[in-house]
Amino acid sequence: MRTLRTVGSLAVLAVTAMGLVAARPALAADTTPGQAAVFTRGYDTTKVASLTFDLDWRTGTAAENAVSKANLETVLRVFAANGITGGFGMTGRFAEQNPAEAATIAAQGHKIFNHSWSHPDFMTLTQAERWSQLDRTETAFRNAGISSAGWFRAPYRSGYLDAGLNRDLALRGFYINLDWTFDTTGYQAADWATVSARIDRYTVPGAIIVMHVTTPSSDPGNLQLIIDKLKGMGYGFVSPWQAVTKNAFRAKYLAAGGSASPFGAATTAEMVATTTGTAVQRFQRGRFYYSPATGAKFVWNGILAKYVAFGTVTSALKFPVTDEMVGAGGGWYSRFQGGSIYWLAAAGGGHVVQGGIHTKYLALGAEAGFLKYPLSDEVKLTGGYGSQFQGGNIYWTSATGAHEVHGAILARYLSLGGMSSRLGAPTSDEHTVSVGRSNTFVHGSITWNATTGAITVAYT
């Protein structure tokens, strides 16, 4: 009938250079990526581009450093004047030396990616050295109050398509390798004619353009010209946050506020969830799921933790059919194809309700009814299954269906052994009888006397 996990017995309960390249797609089963996905351009197929800068503060003269800082101020000012959200491949040493500037970049909404600590060629490093570069940079980012959200850009673009490098990135929690479509070559102090010609030659829909801040780069001074030229070519601008989302996930992400949404940044590319036509994408705080039957839905917070522990889309729950919903009494719930997950701190967090028990629970008002929130997942019992709730239990067998037992009758039933007792499974919900209330069971009944409070067990 269903796939369950037994946790106890209720009887005793209280690209190419011009395209998106994924080094290896995630295995179908909502698994953690084994390789970072390399973006040499965004998902867009319309005429938009993403503008990004690499930022590494090399120790120079006071005059050189002053120019570099002025360059950064120019870039941020031009971005703001044009309403453009860009991206910055930032080294850890820049963030450590300039935490206020690093925080300002992030505060203005621009996407930060880990560009290593000291800008070495990653293809010359061991795995341990690569991880040290990444970790040291993330520490500097945290100290500056910013985050890469697991985005990386390779110094010198060295090895950006290398399977070993992208494996090492993924093993350290970096699942997006944000590369670029073309470099303006402004870092070589290229003149405007050279930059303009490269824009003409290499700009394609979804292009990610890389520029540089630090002197002697000509990019900051040319930035407004670059923007104006792209506009003249019919191009608009899309932020890196948005560039790595597409289709139904993008629409849902933008409707929630995009980079300002509670979900934060995407932390993976869009991946197959189970079979072709389904999808999952992870974000800093949540995941989006899609199937043709359910559309795009999000799961996050404690409900996501439970869903992940249960097996997500490969479990009996399958795909979500609602976003997370506000429940009665300060809790939350999400509906899935195979049941629901309810979450309430006072009920011990998230629990799964499924199958016939789920149907009965909904009929009784779910968390807004007298049963309130679940205290357990569904568990295997003698001859059937059961779930415990704050206000009682529901039991199910193929012969009897699902029925609730609660209050004083439940207490007596549990004291006798529940479904493993002589009474067997319930065959009715609690109902009114002449003396009070009663439940019938396969081999008898338990009755509560409203006048005396006495509990009577009768066997058949």
| Bridge partners (DSSP) listed for residue 340 | 335, 353
pLDDT in tens, 150-164: 999 999 999 999 999
Could you tell me how many helices (H) and strands (E) the chain has, helices first?
A: 12, 25
The Cα-based distances of 132 to 61, 100, 126, 153 in angstroms read 28, 24, 10, 15
Residue 74: partners with Cβ closer than 8 Å, 6 or more residues away: 220, 221, 223
Overall CATH class of domain 32-243: alpha beta
SS3 state of residue 70:
helix
Determine the length of the chain.
Answer: 460
Q: What is the model's pLDDT at position 161?
A: 97
Residue 59: partners with Cβ closer than 8 Å, 6 or more residues away: none
DSSP symbol at 187:
G
Confidence of residue 61 (pLDDT cuts 50, 70, 90): confident
Half-sphere exposure of 274 (CA within 13 A, CB side): 12
Residue 231 has pLDDT above 70, yes or no: yes
pLDDT in tens, 314-358: 999 999 999 999 999 999 999 999 999 999 999 999 999 999 999
Among 324, 307, 325, 327, smallest CA distance to 316 is for 307
DSSP symbol at 47:
S
Residue 142: partners with Cβ closer than 8 Å, 6 or more residues away: none
The domain segmentation of the chain, as residue ranges, is 32-243, 406-460
Q: What is the model's pLDDT at position 64?
A: 79
Assigned token pair, 61 = 């003269």
DSSP symbol at 33:
P
- Does this model's pTM top 0.85? yes
Assigned token pair, 83 = 């309403």
Q: Render 130-144 in DSSP notation, one character per residue.
A: HHHHHHHHHHHHHHH
Confidence of residue 65 (pLDDT cuts 50, 70, 90): confident
